[in-house]
Structure formats: structure tokens, C-alpha cells
């Protein structure tokens, strides 16, 4: 290696170490980092991530919500942030959007010119963006950072788990039927391989009570999530019923657990966060 190459190598190396320290310092200010995973799309993962984060904030915790579903960011829509932009400071730091004094959000959607813009990125590009969101966002001191991830076990969950490292935890969202449940096994085995602690499984769209006649219907069957949790020896956090008001609030950008705070589904979210807050989710990693 020539002298010039050697100098440039050591400059790169010290820059890399500096960035590593910055990432670590930012993450050390956050008590709990929770990835929200799902085996497949459409099971309500982003809805659960947004309402889980919101429920923790309603319980008085300081919460950040990071959407790294880079190819299909929907948190912006769900929380009514369309048209808003994230602030960037001169030193390159990112200012999250603050929805209340103890709840802030970052999603790629806040950087795109239009929600129709397609993000066409390969692995290294995604890694850099996720790293920047974790390292350069001014999260401040948080009790919880809830991270919404794309379905499956691809680059994004891997990057997040590796960048955050020890202390990363996960909640896995599924619907009750067998076809969704079999994909969850992959999410659980992903967590096991990366030593990510599974806080538990949430069964979403679990049963529907007709608002007119009061009859209960298990549209996607029931209990699959609970059975899988028992089989895989991970905690079962609870069931969220199918509720058309969740669709309504998601479409009009009004956070569900705030708008319909007295609904059965909002109460289910309030129950689900209890073991998370009490940290009664001990299980084998």
C-alpha cells in the first residue's frame, strides 16, 4: 500500500469508527427497541406498529416510531402526516415529526416528493438509509423505539437487527389462519438466528363482532397465533379484533387508538402493551 493509500485508508477507518460511536450514542439513549415483524404482507403490521407505539405513548412513555418499510411506507398515511416533511439540520441531523410531546415519527415517506414515487434500491443503499435513520435522527431520550419493517426476513430486518445489535427485540404480527401462521415460523426462526428476543406474537384481525346484530364471526378463524406461540415457546401478547373503524381511521389518517379509544380493539392494544411495559415477556432467545 502506498503512503497516500495508507493515509486515505486510515482517514476512512477513523470516519467509520466515529460514525459507529455516533450510532451507539444515539441508540444508548433509547431504552427498548422493538421491531414489528410479520411473515407476510397485509396482516396489519403497520397498523399494529403505529397503534402499539401510540398506545405506549398514551401510557405516558416517550416513544419514537421508525418506518423502514422502504418500498411501501404507510405510517405517514396511517398517522395523517401526508404532505409533511422531516426537517434536516445543517449538521445533517434529521428532526422527526413530533405528534405530541412524547411521540415522534420518522418514515421515508417524509422525504419523498410524492407518495407515488417508487423506491428502487438494492441492499447497500437500504443499509445506508436505515443506518442514517438510526444514527442521525434526533430521537433524544426515548423509552421505546418501535420499528415498522417490511414483511418477511429480507435486508431491512437484518440491517436493523445488526445495526442495533444486542438488546433488539421483536413483536410478530399474524392473522389467525394457518396460511399466515406458517410464515410466522420463518420470522421466529429469523429472530432466533440473530438472537433477537421475541416479546411475543399478536394475532390481528381476530374475530369480528357485527355492530348491528352483535353476532361474533371468526372471519379468518381464531387462535392460530396463540397455538403457534405455545408451540414455539414465545409469549402470546393478545388478539386484536377485526374492526372496520381501523380501516376508516387508517384511511383518513386519524390514529385509531386515539379516535376510537373506547373500542374493543383499542382496549386490546392497551392490554397488549402491559406485559411489554412490565417486561414480563421473558422467553428463550
Taking CB under 6 A as the binding criterion, the range among 24-32, 43-51, 101-109, 125-133 that sits at the site for ligand ADP is: 43-51
Q: What DSSP string runs through 122-171?
A: -HHHHHHHHHHHHHHB---SEEEEEEE--SSSSHHHHHHHHHH-TTEEEE
CA torsion, ordered 202, 248, 152, 82, to nearest 10 deg: -130
Give dist(CA 147, CA 60) in Å, integer: 19
Does residue 74 bind ligand ADP (CB under 6 A)?
Answer: yes
Output the smallest distance, CB 20 to ligand ADP, in A.
Answer: 31
Judged by CB under 6 A, the chain residues 233 through 272 that form the site for ligand ADP are 240, 242-243, 246-247, 250, 265
Nearer to ligand ADP, 47 or 168 (CB): 47
Q: How far apart are CA 140 and CA 133, in angstroms?
A: 13
Number of residues that bind ligand ADP (CB under 6 A): 18
**Using CB under 6 A as the criterion, what x/- string covers residues 50-69 for binding ligand ADP?**
--------------------
Q: What is the CA 89 to chain-centroid distance, rounded?
A: 25
- Distance in Å, CB of 202 to ligand ADP, minimum: 10
Residue nearest to ligand ADP (CB): 44
Q: Which residues bind ligand ADP (CB under 6 A)?
A: 38, 41-47, 74, 204-205, 240, 242-243, 246-247, 250, 265
Amino acid at each position: 500500500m502506498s503512503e497516500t493509500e495508507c493515509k486515505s485508508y486510515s482517514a476512512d477507518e477513523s470516519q467509520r469508527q466515529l460514525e459507529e460511536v455516533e450510532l451507539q450514542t444515539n441508540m444508548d439513549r433509547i431504552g427498548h427497541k422493538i421491531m414489528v415483524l410479520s411473515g407476510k404482507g397485509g396482516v396489519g403490521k403497520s397498523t399494529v406498529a403505529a397503534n402499539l407505539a401510540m398506545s405506549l405513548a398514551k401510557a405516558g412513555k416517550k416513544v419514537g416510531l421508525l418506518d423502514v418499510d422502504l418500498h411501501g411506507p404507510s405510517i405517514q398515511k396511517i398517522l395523517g402526516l401526508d404532505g409533511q416533511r422531516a426537517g434536516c439540520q445543517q449538521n445533517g441531523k434529521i428532526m422527526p415529526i413530533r405528534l405530541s410531546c412524547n411521540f415522534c415519527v420518522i418514515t421515508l415517506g417524509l422525504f419523498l416528493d410524492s407518495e407515488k414515487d417508487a423506491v428502487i434500491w438494492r441492499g447497500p443503499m437500504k443499509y445506508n438509509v436505515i443506518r442514517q435513520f438510526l444514527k442521525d435522527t434526533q430521537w433524544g431520550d426515548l423509552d421505546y423505539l418501535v420499528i415498522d419493517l417490511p414483511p418477511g426476513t429480507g435486508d431491512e430486518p437484518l440491517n436493523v437487527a445488526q445495526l442495533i445489535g444486542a438488546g433488539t427485540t421483536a413483536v410478530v404480527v399474524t392473522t389467525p389462519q394457518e396460511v399466515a401462521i406458517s410464515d410466522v415460523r420463518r420470522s421466529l426462526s429469523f429472530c432466533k438466528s440473530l438472537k433477537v428476543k421475541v416479546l411475543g406474537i399478536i394475532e390481528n384481525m381476530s374475530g369480528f363482532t357485527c355492530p348491528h346484530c352483535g353476532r361474533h364471526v371468526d372471519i379468518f378463524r381464531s387462535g392460530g397465533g396463540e397455538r403457534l406461540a405455545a408451540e414455539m415457546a414465545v409469549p402470546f401478547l393478545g388478539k386484536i379484533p377485526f374492526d372496520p373503524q381501523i380501516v376508516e381511521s387508517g384511511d383518513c389518517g386519524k390514529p385509531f387508538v386515539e379516535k376510537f379509544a373506547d373500542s374493543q380493539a383499542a382496549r386490546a392494544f392497551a392490554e397488549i402493551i402491559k406485559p411489554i411495559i412490565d417486561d414480563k415477556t421473558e422467553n428463550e432467545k
